[in-house]
Amino acid sequence: MASFDVWNPIMNFVTILLLTFSLFLVITGAFTAYFGSGKSRKIGVGLLVGGLIVGILWGWYSGPGSTGIVLIDVIIQSIGVILAAIIGAAIAIGLFLLAIMKS
């Protein structure tokens, strides 16, 4: 198994970018389609479908055997990186709010 290199522009960086993009399109599309009405509901369905298409096409393109990338490894590593970033940001925001509220 090759080491994980997020800055590999063709493989990992673009995979993380496109899969995150498609995931958030699906989430926001589902939210808009469920809670929206009329025109916004149609836009939500479009976002949902667009996110599914982008995610499925990139997963198909970069799947095992096509370019040597192991998509599951990239996704697992990406979750770890994103989780670490969220925890670090939450701690920093918490310290900031604590400092502001105490002053």
**So what's the pLDDT on residue 4?**
60
**So what's the pLDDT on residue 67?**
54
Average pLDDT rounded to a whole number, residues 31-46 = 91
**Environment class of 51 (CB within 10 Å of its CB; exposed 0-12, middle 13-18, buried 19+):** buried
| pLDDT-derived band at 64, boundaries 50, 70, 90 | low
**So what's the pLDDT on residue 47?**
93
Considering only residues 91 and 75, tell me which one the structure prediction assigns the higher pLDDT: 91
Q: How far apart are CA 54 and CA 58, in angstroms?
A: 6
**Domain limits, the chain:** 9-102
Residue 22 CB contacts under 8 Å (≥ 6 apart), including other chains: 51, 52, 54, 55, 58
